[in-house]
Structure 1
Amino acid sequence: MPALPALSAPWRDRAGRVSGLKLATFLFALAPGLWLAGAYAMDALGAKPITALLHGTGEWAVRFLLLSLAVSPLRRIANYPKLILVRRMLGLTVLAYGLIHFALYVVDQNFVLTKVVSEIATRIYLTIGFVALVGLIVLGVTSTDGMIRRLGKAWPRLHKAVYTIAVLGLVHYFLQAKIDVTNPVFWTGLFLLLMGWRAMQRFRLPTNPLTLVVLALAAGLATALVEAAWYGLASGVPARVVLAANLDFSYTVRPAWWVVGLGLVLPVLNFARTLMDGRNKGKRPAPAAAERRQEPARRAVAAQ
C-alpha cells in the first residue's frame, strides 16, 4: 500500500511542512474526546455514563462550532491571517463530535432504529438537532478543495448556512437543558457577540477599540435579555427577577458578564495590533530612489 502524501496529515500546511498552529489545533480538537473516553474507561462518568458522554459530545460540538465562527473576527482584529488555516479543521471537528453525539444517542436507545426515528420525528428538540446534524454533514462533504472548485460561487452561499445551523444547535441545547440553561445562555451570548461583529462588517462600521467595547456591552445586554426571555417563557419567572440577578454577585456571576468579559478581549487585541502596526511601520526603512519611482505602478496594480 503506497504511503499517504504528507499533505494528508492535518498538522501540515499546503507545502507539506509541519504547522505549529495546525498541530496545536489538532491536539486541542482531540483532547475533549480523549478525556471523555478516558473518563468512561475509568468509570468516572457517574451512574449514566452514556448519557454523560451524550451530553459531553453535544456540548463540545457547540463549542467548536462557535470557535470556528470566531476565526474570522480574531484573525482580522488581531491581524493574524494564519488563523484561516485551521477553520476547516475546526469545522470538521464540529462534524465529528456531532456524529459521535448522534451515535451515542443510538446507543442510548439500545440500537432500536425504529425508536430513534420515531423520537426524532415526534420530539421537537431532537428534530431540530437532527436537522442541524444533516446541515453539518452537507458542509463537511462540501469542504474539500475539489468541491470548492466544483461549486464555484455557490460554495460561499452554501456555507453561510453555518449561521442557521448554529442557531438550530443552540436551540437544541436550550431545549435539552430544560431547567438550568446557564451554559446555553453563555454560548448563545458568544454567538450574538460574533454575529454583532459580522453585522459591523456588513454595514461597514468602524472597527476600533471603542466600537468593540460597545459591541461587548451590547452582547452582554442581549445575553441577559435572552436569559430573562427563556426563563419567562419556560417557567414563568418574571423577567425583572432574572435581570436583577445579573446585578447580584453574591451567589454566582451570570453568563451575561462572562460574555462582556470575553467581548472586552477584542478591543484589547485591536489596540495591541494597532500599537504593533505603528511600531513596525516606524521601523521600516525608507525606500530607495528606484523603489520610490516604482511605487505608483505598484499601487495601480494593487488597486486592480
Structure 2
Amino acid sequence: MTVHPRIADPRPAPPRPASSGISSSSIAWPWLDRAGRLSRFKLAVFLLALAPGLWFTGAYALDQLGAKPLTAYLHAMGDWSVRFLIVSLAVTPMRRIANAPKLILVRRMLGLTALAYALVHFTLYVADQKFDLARVASEIVFRIYLTIGFAGLLGLVVLGLTSTDGMIRRLGKAWPRLHRLVYPLTALALLHFFLQSKIDVSKPVYWSGLFLALMGWRLMHRFKVPTAPLPLLGLSLAAGLATAALEAAWYAIATGVPAEAVLAANLDVSYDVRPAWWVLGTVILIVPLNLWQNRNAPAGKGPVAKGPVARPARAVKA
C-alpha cells in the first residue's frame, strides 16, 4: 500500500479554543465499561450503592431518624461503609464459587463506595462536633475507638487514591502488596464497629463472621482446597462456630459475662437468634449456588465452558 506524503498547508492554523483538559469521553463514569459503552450490570450496582446514602439523607432531611437524627445518620453511614467493604471482599470468592467472572467489573466500584461512605461518616462526625477541628483531633487522639476508626479511614483513602489504572501501572508489583492491606483495614473497621456499638454488638458480630468466612475461603484457596460443595459446607459450619466463639470472647472481655453463658444462648432460639446462626445461614447458601453453577461440569473439572472455544481472557483490573 502506497503512503502519500502529507502536503503542508501554507495557511496558519486557526487558534484552538481553551480547554480544561477534561472531556466527557475521558471521564471514567462508573456505569460504563472499558470500551465506553453503557453496562447495565455496572449501572445497577452503582444505583444500589447509592440507594442507602440517598435513603438516609432523605430521612435525615425529613427528620425521620429519631431523637438524635445526626447521630443516627452518621452511624448508618459507618455501618454501610463496613457492609460495602465486606461485599467488595466477597467479589473474588463469589467469582469462583458462582462461576461469575463479571463480578470483577464492580470490585473497584464497591471498594470506592465503602470509602465514600466512610468519608461521609467522618464528615458527619465533624459536623456533630460543631466543626470544632481542635476538639475532633483531641477526641481522635484520646478515644481509642476513634483512633482505630481514623487509622482505618486513612488506610482506605490511600487504597482509594492508588486504585486507578495509572497508579496500578506506576506501582507495578508493589500494587498487590499495598492493596492486601485491605484485610487488616477491614479488621480495624470491624473493631471500631464493635467499640462504638457499646452493649448490643449483634451487627458487628454478624459482619465479622462474614469476614472470617471470606478469610477462611482465601486460606482454603491458598492451600489449594477445591471450591466444591463439601469443603464449602465445612467452611460454612466453621464460620458459624467461629462467630459464636468471637461473640462469647467479646462479651467475656468487654462486660465480664461468662463465655459459656453466651455460647449457651446460641442454643436457645426461643428468645432470639444469635448472629452465629445468621452467619451460618448466609454462608451456607454458597453450597447450593456452587452445585447449581457446576451442575453440568465433569467431576473435578470445574464449570464447563459453553459455546465455541474461547480465546484466553485478558486480566481485568478493578
2:37 equivalent to 1:38 = no
State the alpha-carbon separation in 2 of the partners of residues 158 and 245 from structure 1. 41
Larger radius of gyration: 2
Contact 1:6 1:16 (8 Å CA) reproduced: no
Aligned match of 2:271 in 251, 260, 267?
A: 251
State the alpha-carbon separation in 2 of the partners of residues 26 and 196 from structure 1. 28
State the alpha-carbon separation in 1 of the partners of residues 244 and 296 from structure 2. 35
> Which residue number in structure 2 is paired with residue 70 of structure 1?
90
Q: What's the secondary structure of 2:24's corresponding residue?
A: coil
> Which residue number in structure 1 is paired with residue 132 of structure 2?
112
Which residue type is aligned with residue 125 of structure 1? Y
Aligned match of 2:150 in 122, 130, 133?
A: 130
Post-superposition offset of 1:37:
0.6
Contact 1:7 1:14 (8 Å CA) reproduced: no
Aligned CA distance change for structure 1 residues 284 and 34 (closer, same or farther; 3 Å): closer
Contact 1:57 1:100 (8 Å CA) reproduced: yes
> Which residue number in structure 2 is paired with residue 153 of structure 1?
173
Contact 1:106 1:113 (8 Å CA) reproduced: yes
Which residue type is aligned with residue 100 of structure 1? V
Deviations 1:155-186 (A, max 9, x none): 00000000010000000000000100000000
> Which residue number in structure 1 is paired with residue 242 of structure 2?
222
Aligned CA distance change for structure 1 residues 7 and 115 (closer, same or farther; 3 Å): closer
Aligned match of 1:96 in 116, 131, 143?
A: 116
Aligned CA distance change for structure 1 residues 222 and 236 (closer, same or farther; 3 Å): same
Q: Percent identity?
A: 64
Which residue type is aligned with residue 261 of structure 2? V
Deviations 1:108-151 (A, max 9, x none): 10111000000000000000000000000000000000000000
Deviates more, 1:232-241 or 1:121-130: 232-241
Equivalent positions of 1:259-274 (< 5 A) are: 259-274=279-294
Equivalent positions of 1:204-219 (< 5 A) are: 204-219=224-239
Could you state the TM-score of these two structures normalised by the residue count of structure 2? 0.87
Post-superposition offset of 1:7:
5.5
State the alpha-carbon separation in 2 of the partners of residues 52 and 193 from structure 1. 29
> Which residue number in structure 2 is paired with residue 10 of structure 1?
30
* Count of residue pairs the alignment pairs up: 288
Aligned match of 2:67 in 47, 51, 54?
A: 47
> Which residue number in structure 2 is paired with residue 292 of structure 1?
none
* Coordinate RMSD, CA, aligned: 2.0
State the alpha-carbon separation in 2 of the partners of residues 78 and 58 from structure 1. 29
Structure 1: runs of 5+ lacking an equivalent: 288-297, 300-304
State the alpha-carbon separation in 2 of the partners of residues 190 and 181 from structure 1. 14
Aligned CA distance change for structure 1 residues 117 and 266 (closer, same or farther; 3 Å): same
Runs of 4+ in 1 over 6 A off after TM superposition: 282-285
Higher-helix-fraction structure: 1
Deviations 1:256-284 (A, max 9, x none): 01111111111111111111445985986
> Which residue number in structure 2 is paired with residue 174 of structure 1?
194
Post-superposition offset of 1:67:
0.2
Could you state the TM-score of these two structures normalised by the residue count of structure 1? 0.91
Contact 1:7 1:15 (8 Å CA) reproduced: no
Contact 1:60 1:97 (8 Å CA) reproduced: yes
Aligned CA distance change for structure 1 residues 280 and 59 (closer, same or farther; 3 Å): closer
Aligned CA distance change for structure 1 residues 137 and 284 (closer, same or farther; 3 Å): closer
Post-superposition offset of 1:41:
1.2
